[in-house]
Amino acid sequence: MEKIIIGLVFLGALVYLGRMVYRMFFSKQVGCAKGCGTCSAMPTETNNPV
């Protein structure tokens, strides 16, 4: 039973990493795959009326 749980956790981690790598290389979005908005490739808003 323990080996099944460890295998499922390991398989889930592989799926997560594989999805992240796939999105990084084959995504049609601008920016990086993290989605946190800190990349320099992300467009910035310039609607500040200063």
pLDDT digits over 11-32, tens only? 999 999 999 988 888 766 655 6
**CA angle 36–27–12, rounded 5-degree value:** 75
Q: Which residues of 30-43 are buried (b: 16+ CB within 10 A; e: fewer)?
A: eebeeeeeeeeeee
**pTM of the predicted structure, to 2 decimals:** 0.52
pLDDT at 50 over 60: no
